[in-house]
Structure 1
Amino acid sequence: MARPDRYWLRGLMLTLGVYVLVSVAVTDTYGLFFFVMLAALAFSVTLFYWLFPGSHFTTIALANFLSIYACLFTFFVETNFDTASDWAIRISFVLPVASYIAAVSLRRQEINRLVRHEADSRVRYEPRLFLWLLPVFAVGLATFILPHRDYQPATISAFLLLSMGLIAVLVAVVSRDVTAFLLETGLLFEEFFDQAVALLAPTLAFFTYYTFVVVVFGCFYRIIDSVIPGPHFMVVGVVREITFLESMYFSIITLSTVGYGDLVPASQLVRAVASLQIVIGVWLIIFGFSEVLRYARERDWRDQRRHGRH
């Protein structure tokens, strides 16, 4: 008996974790709005998977899309409707989500055919995938014209409900195209996860070599600072001896060529060693990516030969 495919479930749990993270960051506290956001996600994803049980990665795309919606809604409210009442904000958040779920429930069979014919949908719906966003953005941009400071909180709340209600109507009308967009994103998710699993071995090899360079140069920095008379480093504007953890931190930001400026070399010797590490880091990235791509091409070639024999 074949084991059930639980790979999509791991991706879904990761997405739910991201959504919880977004919810906590958006709401600041575990108040009512936090649970409203989580309830909207749980209900939407559960109902969507019940309606379209064969679209695992499309369900993951829906969860990610709701996370993006939560971020945009927060920007929308804090920018234009910061004086709106709490109840208006909660209802406004739920309106487009509930409208979409209701629309796809009513058009279940029509959209189910879209989900089941993934290959055809990618050709047929690709030019229209983002057209449905235009009226939604138009409504959002129109709210910036309102003289918000001239209205009372009750009026601002009414404007917020009206704006999100209009967006909810638009989302319901274009629910088929929204689902096509989610389908495309779900297919990309699936391809990404398949490629990630296939390239796991060379990626881990690259990461191992990367950490090897970080550790070796980090130890060099620590030894130079401890053995050779300095000063060699300046930490937040103060010349002093660095700790082992600070040497590892400096090695990481040097290899990644970030250079935050909180920890900088103060001697020509350290500058020379850091320059060498940067050159090695650039070479490592170029070599690592080329090897990963070569591994991917060889794997595809072996798969093609294997399928050709069958």
Structure 2
Amino acid sequence: MKKPDRYWLPGLVLTLGLYVLVSLSVSETVDFFFLVMLGTLVFCVTLFYRLFPGSYFTTIALANFLSVYACLFIFFVEANFGAAADWVVRVSFALPILTFMAGVWLRRGAIHRLVNHEVDTRIHYAPRVFLWLLPVMVVGLATFLVPHQGFSAQTVGLLLLASMGLIAVTVMAVCRDVTAFLLETGLLFEDFFARASALMAPTLAFFTYYSFVVIVFAGVYRLVGRIIPGDHFMLAGEPRTISFMESLYFSIITLSTVGYGDLVPASLLVRAIASLQIVIGVWLIIFGFSEVLRYTREHPAQGRRG
């Protein structure tokens, strides 16, 4: 018996994982708002799979689109509509998403034709396609006038519903263009993952050499503190001998030239060793990029989607 086709599973898992991450980040607890956001995503992703089977990269793009929307929505609510009731915030959040999906459902025939022709004819979008963002931006900017007017909580809630209602109408009207953008983004995701898979071998080689340098210098920093008397490091402004895990941490931030400043070298010897590691780190990055580019030129077929 033929096994069921589960092509959709990776896309669904990545989509839900991304949105759960954003939802848990913006919600302090797993409350009803979290369930509303998660349930809305499950509905949207499920409907997209039913309408466009096989396009899980497009649903990943949809998940990212919804995550960006969630971040912007939380920002505007906290900045301008903090007095709105919880139920108003939840309804306002779901309103544009549900109307967008309603528009996709109503125009599924036109969108299906777009999907069927995308393989043979790649779409190059003109700037006019993104003109629908202008009214959305105008509504968003206008909301900054709300906190300065001294409105009541009920009025603020009504203004939030009205603002999101205008955005919902706009998004529903241009749902075909938005879906076309998601489709193109999904194809770009597919190209990216294909190229990333082709570059796995040189990437792992670079990481192996990188980790080798990190561990060697971490051992050197640790041995300097044990063999040569004196305080060679300062941690939070206090001289002390560091542990191996602290030396490993210092080796990583030194090789990456980050230098947070919480753990710093205090002796001339350690400063000289750290300077040498920084030079090696810069050389390693240049060498790594050069090898990746050389590998891409020598294996051009593996860098393209079949």
TM range (shorter): over 0.9
Relative to structure 1, the CA distance from residue 296 to residue 303 in structure 2 (aligned partners, 3 Å threshold; closer, same or farther) is: closer
* Structure 2: runs of 5+ lacking an equivalent: none
* TM-superposition CA deviations, 1:192-227 (whole Å, max 9, x none): 110111111111111111111100000000001111
Partner of 1:55: 55
C-alpha separation between the residues in 1 aligned to 2:122 and 2:59?
Answer: 17
Q: How does 1:117-132 map to 2 (within 5 A)?
A: 117-118=117-118, 122-132=122-132
Worse-matched range after superposition: 49-58 or 168-177: 49-58
Equivalent residue letter for 1:162:
A
Relative to structure 1, the CA distance from residue 11 to residue 259 in structure 2 (aligned partners, 3 Å threshold; closer, same or farther) is: farther
Q: How does 1:19-30 map to 2 (within 5 A)?
A: 19-30=19-30
Equivalent residue letter for 1:140:
G
Relative to structure 1, the CA distance from residue 8 to residue 247 in structure 2 (aligned partners, 3 Å threshold; closer, same or farther) is: farther
Equivalent residue letter for 1:230:
G
Displacement of 1:293 in angstroms is 1.4
Relative to structure 1, the CA distance from residue 301 to residue 67 in structure 2 (aligned partners, 3 Å threshold; closer, same or farther) is: closer
Equivalent residue letter for 2:81:
F
> Does residue 115 in structure 1 map to residue 115 in structure 2?
yes
C-alpha separation between the residues in 2 aligned to 1:190 and 1:6?
Answer: 17
Partner of 1:71: 71
C-alpha separation between the residues in 1 aligned to 2:156 and 2:61?
Answer: 32
Equivalent residue letter for 1:145:
L
Relative to structure 1, the CA distance from residue 92 to residue 193 in structure 2 (aligned partners, 3 Å threshold; closer, same or farther) is: same
Q: Secondary structure of the residue that 2:234 maps to in structure 1?
A: strand
Partner of 1:289: 289
Contact 2:198 2:303 survives alignment (8 Å): no
* TM-superposition CA deviations, 1:81-120 (whole Å, max 9, x none): 0110000000000000001000000000101111222257
> Does residue 256 in structure 1 map to residue 275 in structure 2?
no
Q: Secondary structure of the residue that 1:145 maps to in structure 2?
A: helix
> Does residue 233 in structure 1 map to residue 242 in structure 2?
no
Partner of 2:16: 16
Displacement of 1:130 in angstroms is 2.5
Displacement of 1:145 in angstroms is 2.0
Worse-matched range after superposition: 238-247 or 64-73: 64-73
Contact 1:130 1:181 survives alignment (8 Å): no
C-alpha separation between the residues in 2 aligned to 1:91 and 1:37?
Answer: 10
* TM-superposition CA deviations, 1:212-249 (whole Å, max 9, x none): 11000000000011111121100001000001100000
Q: Secondary structure of the residue that 2:258 maps to in structure 1?
A: coil
Partner of 2:99: 99
C-alpha separation between the residues in 2 aligned to 1:208 and 1:227?
Answer: 28
Equivalent residue letter for 1:112:
H
Contact 2:123 2:184 survives alignment (8 Å): no
Q: Secondary structure of the residue that 2:82 maps to in structure 1?
A: coil
* Structure 1: runs of 5+ lacking an equivalent: none
Displacement of 1:11 in angstroms is 4.6
C-alpha separation between the residues in 1 aligned to 2:303 and 2:249?
Answer: 42
Contact 1:55 1:115 survives alignment (8 Å): no
Displacement of 1:279 in angstroms is 0.6
Worse-matched range after superposition: 126-135 or 1-10: 1-10
Q: How does 1:273-288 map to 2 (within 5 A)?
A: 273-288=273-288
Equivalent residue letter for 1:127:
P
Query: What TM-score do you get using the length of structure 1 for normalisation?
Result: 0.93
Q: Secondary structure of the residue that 2:131 maps to in structure 1?
A: coil
Q: Secondary structure of the residue that 2:130 maps to in structure 1?
A: coil
Partner of 1:36: 36
Contact 1:148 1:156 survives alignment (8 Å): no
Q: Secondary structure of the residue that 1:229 maps to in structure 2?
A: coil
Q: Secondary structure of the residue that 1:146 maps to in structure 2?
A: helix
C-alpha separation between the residues in 2 aligned to 1:127 and 1:117?
Answer: 21
* TM-superposition CA deviations, 1:21-80 (whole Å, max 9, x none): 110111110100000000010000100110111322111111111111111110010011
| Sequence identity (%) | 68
Q: Number of aligned residue pairs: give it.
A: 305
Contact 1:218 1:248 survives alignment (8 Å): yes
Relative to structure 1, the CA distance from residue 270 to residue 8 in structure 2 (aligned partners, 3 Å threshold; closer, same or farther) is: farther
Contact 1:214 1:251 survives alignment (8 Å): yes
Displacement of 1:147 in angstroms is 4.2
Displacement of 1:191 in angstroms is 0.6
Displacement of 1:186 in angstroms is 0.4
Contact 1:125 1:177 survives alignment (8 Å): no
